Structure 1
Amino acid sequence: MNRLTTSWGGFELARFPEDPRDTLRAWDAADEYLLRQLKGTDDAESTDLSGTVVVVGDRWGALTTSLAGHRPIQITDSFLGQEATRANLARNGIDADAVRLQSVRDMPPERIDVLLIRVPKSLALLEDQLHRLAPAVHADTVVVGTGMVNEIHTSTLKLFERNLGPTRTSLAVKKARLIFCTPDARLARTPSPWPLRYALPDDVGALAGRTVTNHAGIFCAERLDIGTRFFLRSLPERHGPDRVVDLGCGNGVVGTATALANPEASVTFIDESFSAVASAEATYRENVASEAKAEFLVGDGLSGVADGTVDLVLNNPPFHSHRATTDTAARRMFGGARRVLRPGGELWVVGNRHLGYHVKLRRLFGNCEVVASDPKFVVLRAVRK
C-alpha cells in the first residue's frame, strides 16, 4: 500500500487483491498528471466538477477515490478494478455510495459534464467506449484523457477526433501525457463496430468453422490467438458429468469446445473482464444446445467457487497487468484451482514456454506433466492429490 497525495488530500491506495509480493503501485504518473490538471495550474483554471463526472478505465480506483467528493461515475471493464475501488474507498473512510460503479456493459449516463478517460491498452475498447459515450457528451463537456507516453499514439488521438471532436495533447511530464478534446456536436453519431464475429479455422476440432463473438477489449479480439489455438488441439478427451471451469475464459472458445466434446459436462466460464464473460456467453449460446449446463461469472478468479467441487480446470493465464509483466494472476489462478479441484481433479494450463509454469505447478501440486509442446507454447497437466 502507498499514499497518493493530491489537492483533495492524501489517500492510502492498493491494488486488488493485495499481494505482499507485488510491489506495483495502484496509480502512476498519468493519474497524478490528470488530478493536477483538474485542480488547475499556473496557466489553466481548475475544472468545474459540479456536474456529472464520469471516470472511464480507472485501473485501481486512484482517480475515483481522489474525486469521491464530487460523486463520480466510474466505468470499467475490470472486476478487479471495481473491487480495488471499493477497497480503496473503504480504507480511506469514504462511503461507497459516494461513487457509482458501472461496467462497460451497463447503459452509460444520459449526460456527461466532465469525461475523464484513462487510455486503455486496447484501442478497440477505447473505440467502443467513445462510441457508447458520445451521445451523452455536449458542447460544454470537459474531456480529458490521460496515459503514459507509450500508451498514446496517433491512432489514439484519431479515435477521440472521429468520435468526439478536435483533439490535442499536452507536453509530457514524468513520461505521462494528457489528451484534451473539444466536443463537436456536428459530428455524425455512428454505432460501435463491436462486437466482432468471425468463423474459427478448420484445425480446432469440434469448433472448426463455428462462429465466435468478441466484445471490444478482450484478448486477441480480432482473431484466434495462437496460444488458444494450440490449446484447442490438445484438450483432454473426457466423458461424463464433469464440472469444468474455463478460467480466464476470454471469448469462451475453450469452454465451448469442451461442452461440444462432452455434452454431459457442465461448464463454468470465469473472467475478471465484463466484456470477456459477455463474449463467452454469446459464443457458447450460439454453438451449444440450449439444454446444456453452463454458468457465466465475472469475478476474482475462483474465489466464488466452493472447495473440492470441480473435476477439470482449463486455464490460459495472463502474464501482464496492463503494461507490467507479472506472474501474480497465474499464481493466484493455480492456487485457486488446487483448492476447488476434487481429489483426482486436473488443471490443464497453456502458456509460453519461457514462463516456467511447470516449476510453480510442481511446487503447488507435487506433480506436473507436459501434454504437448512446440517451440513457443507448452500444455501442462497437474493432478490434485
Structure 2
Amino acid sequence: MKSIKSLSPPSQLLIRQADQIRCEALLVVNPPDHEWRTELPVAGGWHLHAGWFHPWQELGEAHQFGTAPPQQQFDAALVWLPKEKKLTDYMLQQLAALLPKDAPIWLVGDNRSGIKSIAKQIEGAFSPAQKVANGNHSTLLVTTLVAPLEHCELDQFQHVFSVPANAGNAAEEMTAPLQVASLPGVFAHPGIDAGSTMLLQHLPRFKPGSVLDFACGNGVLGASLQRQQPGLQLTYLDVSAMALAACAKTLELNGLNGELIAADHLRADLPKYNYIVSHPPFHTGQATDYSIGQQFLRNAREHLAVNGELWLVANRFLPWPELIEASFGHCERIAQDTKFAVYRAVHKVQRAVKKGRRR
C-alpha cells in the first residue's frame, strides 16, 4: 500500500482501526480511494462516484456503479458518509434491505460530513451508533441492523418539480412546464440552483447540432434546450450515479432522449460537439476541488467543432475566465449578478503566422 498519508483522512483513520472491522464478507460503500482494500475483507462495493469507481472495476461484478448495491450476500458494510443527509438516509435504507439482521455497519466520515449528528438520523432499523475512534479530523462509528426492510425503492426518494415555460430564453417556446426529477445527492436537490436558472435565462436558441451537458446533474439545462429545439442531439455527462438516474428520469418525464455518460472529466474518446453547456462543480464532497473545472476548461476547446460554442455559469470568485481565455483566446461575459456570471467562448480557427524576412 502507498503511504497512508496519500489516503483521504477518513480512510487514514479506518486503516489505523482496521482490526475493529471484524466480518467475513464486507460491502464497502462509496470509498473515495482504494489502496487500502487488501487490509480488509472486502467482498464487494457499491460505488456512486464514477471517478472513484474506476480502480475497482477490474474486480468484477461484485463492485457496481449505480443507485443500488450489488445484490449478493454480505454480512457487514462499511460506509463513507456523504455530506448530504438525505443521501445518507437513502444509502442506509438500501443497506437495511440488503443485509441480514444483526449485521454491523461501520460509518466513517470527515467531521464536517455530518457524522457527529448521525445518531439523530439512525432510528427504526438501526441500533444507536457507537463511537469506535476519531482522528484525522474524522470519526468512525458502528451501528447494527436490528429491523431489516423488505425492499427499498429509488422512486420513494424521488422529487419532481416544474420549470415554468417562461423560465428563460431556452424554455420560452415550451407549451408546458418542463418536469425535472431530482434524487438525494444531486446538486441543489430537491430543486434547481440559482446559477443554472441564470444560465437558462441567457442561453440563445441553438442551431441544430450536438450538445454536451457537462456535469448535467438533474439534466435541466440539456432538457430545456432539447424541448426548445428538438433538432439538437444531447449528451449528458456526470460523475454521480444519482445525478444520471435523475437525468434519465427527467428525459423520460418529458418524452426526450439522449446519451448518458458516467465520467468525472472530458474523456479523450469523446467526440466534438457543436455546443457545450455547463455549471461546473468546484467541490468534491466537503472539500473545495478546482481540478474538475480546471481540467474541463483546459480540454473543452478540443471537444468543440470549429465555431462551436462553450456556455457556462459559475460563481464570480472562481478563476474560470482566465482559464477560458487561455484555452480559447477570449472569454465573453454575457451576464452577471452579485454571485454568478455567464460566460461564452467560441472555438475559432487560429491561423498560423508565417515567419519570413521582411522586405
Instruction: Confirm or deny a common fold (TM above 0.5).
Output: yes
Q: How does 1:210-225 map to 2 (within 5 A)?
A: 210-225=178-193
Aligned residues with identical type, % of pairs? 26
- Asked if structure 2 preserves the Cα contact closer than 8 Å seen for 1:58 and 1:81, the reply is yes
Q: CA deviation at 1:372?
A: 1.3
Residue aligned with 1:236, SS: coil
1:168 lines up with 2:135 in the alignment: no
For 1:44, the equivalent position in structure 2 comes to none
- Asked if structure 1 preserves the Cα contact closer than 8 Å seen for 2:103 and 2:145, the reply is yes
String of CA shifts for 1:153-205, please: whole Å, max 9, x gaps: 46522333344222222453232211110221378977564122222356523
Q: How does 1:359-370 map to 2 (within 5 A)?
A: 359-370=322-333
1:196 lines up with 2:163 in the alignment: no
Q: How does 1:83-232 map to 2 (within 5 A)?
A: 83-85=54-56, 96-97=58-59, 100-153=62-115, 155-185=117-147, 193-201=156-164, 203-205=166-168, 206=171, 209-232=177-200
Q: Partners in 1 of 2:167 and 2:246 — Cα distance? A: 19
1:73 lines up with 2:44 in the alignment: yes
Aligned CA distance change for structure 1 residues 360 and 188 (closer, same or farther; 3 Å): same
Residue aligned with 2:17, SS: helix
Q: How does 1:293-304 map to 2 (within 5 A)?
A: 294-303=258-267
Aligned CA distance change for structure 1 residues 195 and 304 (closer, same or farther; 3 Å): farther
Q: CA deviation at 1:73?
A: 1.0
Q: Partners in 2 of 1:55 and 1:345 — Cα distance? A: 42
Aligned CA distance change for structure 1 residues 65 and 229 (closer, same or farther; 3 Å): farther
- Asked if structure 1 preserves the Cα contact closer than 8 Å seen for 2:307 and 2:346, the reply is yes
Q: Partners in 2 of 1:195 and 1:246 — Cα distance? A: 21
Aligned CA distance change for structure 1 residues 111 and 306 (closer, same or farther; 3 Å): closer
Q: Which moved more, 1:116-125 or 1:294-303?
A: 294-303
- Asked if structure 2 preserves the Cα contact closer than 8 Å seen for 1:74 and 1:100, the reply is yes
Aligned CA distance change for structure 1 residues 342 and 113 (closer, same or farther; 3 Å): same
State TM-score, norm by structure 2.
0.87
- Asked if structure 2 preserves the Cα contact closer than 8 Å seen for 1:198 and 1:211, the reply is yes
For 2:253, the equivalent position in structure 1 comes to 286
Q: Partners in 2 of 1:156 and 1:104 — Cα distance? A: 24
How many aligned residue pairs are there?
A: 342
Q: CA deviation at 1:79?
A: 0.5
String of CA shifts for 1:227-269, please: whole Å, max 9, x gaps: 11111111122232x1011011000000001101111110111
What stretches of structure 2 of length at least 5 have no aligned partner? Answer: 349-359
Q: CA deviation at 1:295?
A: 1.1
Q: Partners in 2 of 1:187 and 1:299 — Cα distance? A: 32
Residue aligned with 1:250, SS: coil
- Asked if structure 1 preserves the Cα contact closer than 8 Å seen for 2:297 and 2:324, the reply is yes
- What root-mean-square deviation, in Å, do the aligned CA atoms of Structure 1 and Structure 2 show? 2.5
String of CA shifts for 1:337-368, please: whole Å, max 9, x gaps: 21110111011110001102111100111011
User: Structure 1 counterpart of 2:185, which letter?
Assistant: G
For 1:9, the equivalent position in structure 2 comes to none
Q: Partners in 1 of 2:249 and 2:149 — Cα distance? A: 32
1:35 lines up with 2:19 in the alignment: no
Aligned CA distance change for structure 1 residues 187 and 165 (closer, same or farther; 3 Å): farther
Q: Partners in 1 of 2:254 and 2:145 — Cα distance? A: 42
Residue aligned with 1:166, SS: coil
**Which one of 212, 221, 234 corresponds to residue 245 of structure 1?**
212
For 1:49, the equivalent position in structure 2 comes to 23
Q: Partners in 1 of 2:248 and 2:150 — Cα distance? A: 32
Q: How does 1:2-17 map to 2 (within 5 A)?
A: 3-5=2-4
Residue aligned with 2:135, SS: coil
Q: How does 1:257-296 map to 2 (within 5 A)?
A: 257-289=224-256, 294-296=258-260
String of CA shifts for 1:275-327, please: whole Å, max 9, x gaps: 111111211221145xxx521111233216545x2100001110112222132
- Asked if structure 1 preserves the Cα contact closer than 8 Å seen for 2:182 and 2:218, the reply is yes
- Asked if structure 1 preserves the Cα contact closer than 8 Å seen for 2:164 and 2:177, the reply is yes
String of CA shifts for 1:137-167, please: whole Å, max 9, x gaps: 2234221111122223465223333442222
Q: Partners in 2 of 1:272 and 1:190 — Cα distance? A: 23
For 1:90, the equivalent position in structure 2 comes to none
Q: Partners in 1 of 2:43 and 2:150 — Cα distance? A: 28
For 1:372, the equivalent position in structure 2 comes to 335
Q: Partners in 2 of 1:186 and 1:280 — Cα distance? A: 30
Residue aligned with 2:3, SS: strand
Q: Partners in 1 of 2:276 and 2:125 — Cα distance? A: 41
Aligned CA distance change for structure 1 residues 187 and 167 (closer, same or farther; 3 Å): farther
**Which one of 285, 294, 302 corresponds to residue 339 of structure 1?**
302
User: Structure 2 counterpart of 1:74, which letter?
Assistant: G
